[in-house]
Amino acid sequence: MIDLKTYDSLLEPINAFLQCSTPDAWVNEAKKPENLKTVLIDHLLCELKAGQSAMYLIRKYAVDKSSANSLLDWFKPYEDFAYRKTGSLETLKGKSNISKAIMAKSNSPYSQDLIDKMVLLIKEELHHFYQVLEIMESRGIAYEPVPASRYAKGLLSEMTTHEPQTLIDKLIIGAYIEARSCERFAKLAPHMDKDIAKFYVSLLRSEARHYQDYLTLAEEIAGKDISERVNYFGKLEAELISSPDNDFKFHSGVPA
């Protein structure tokens, strides 16, 4: 069994932030050997989508044109693999770091802090993508695209459509997605094979920091108390997690 006691202090704020814990019914479904393929492939795509969300965020709000193009180039091999089935574990090796500096556009009201936090997050998510792919390859699990669950779409559909509130909402949603991922890795780790359990435990620190970074940025950009909005998305997130769901995925609700 994996000892998660060391991580109690790290998980405490996560569990306090989330308005419900993952239902046992989801954990029971996720730990079934026949669902490992779904869990791993969906996790792989979640890492890519988390990186893409951060990339689109800084492309839209914070970086100059040259940096925006560099960000697209950075993602190309991963997107080629996931959406066009070209490339392999070998071609993705060492691609999670970006060599070019990502510069803020001169008229951006958003600080370098937004860029720095998101670039670090992207590097980590792309590295995790590679690590999940390694685990899949070691088990002979071939990659095949799977449709996304209702989870992220359900949260994003409630965003405000005027700035800067749209950006603040995106950051709050990002915080919930990272916090839930962290909580689920901790819930799943004790039930997985040793290599996967070790990997999930290794993800807890970065996921916990990502949640905190998103929340801090949302507060900084708002420049005022955002607890009402945080609570609004918290209720929505808990509803998606605790209500029946016909589509089993990494962020799905109670298996219907």
21-70: pLDDT as tens digits = 999 999 999 999 999 999 999 999 999 999 999 999 999 999 999 999 99
Residue tagged 């951006």 (tokens): 108
> Are the CB atoms for 204 and 211 separated by under 8 Å?
no
Rounded Cα distance, 167 and 154, in Å: 17
If one counts the domains in the chain, the total is 1
How many residues does this entry show for the chain?
256
Q: How confident is the model at residue 2, as a pLDDT?
A: 57
Confidence of residue 7 (pLDDT cuts 50, 70, 90): confident
> Are the CB atoms for 237 and 197 separated by under 8 Å?
no
Rounded Cα distance, 91 and 217, in Å: 34
Instruction: Rank 3-17, 130-144, 201-215 by mean pLDDT and report only the highest.
Output: 130-144
pTM of the model: 0.95
Residues 6 or more apart from 106 whose CB is under 8 A from it?
Answer: 64
Q: CB atoms < 10 A from the CB of 178, how many?
A: 24
Q: How confident is the model at residue 143, as a pLDDT?
A: 96
- Kindly report the CATH number assigned to the domain that includes residue 168: 1.20.1260.10
**Averaged confidence pLDDT in the chain:** 94
Token output for 93: 């090796």
Token output for 177: 């997605």
Residues 6 or more apart from 143 whose CB is under 8 A from it?
Answer: 41, 44, 81, 82, 85, 133, 136
Residues 6 or more apart from 154 whose CB is under 8 A from it?
Answer: 236, 240
157: three-class secondary structure by DSSP: coil
Q: How confident is the model at residue 4, as a pLDDT?
A: 67
Q: 136-176 pLDDT, tens per residue? A: 999 999 999 999 899 999 999 999 999 999 999 999 999 99
Structural domain containing residue 208: 4-255
In DSSP terms, 244 is beta-bridged to 254
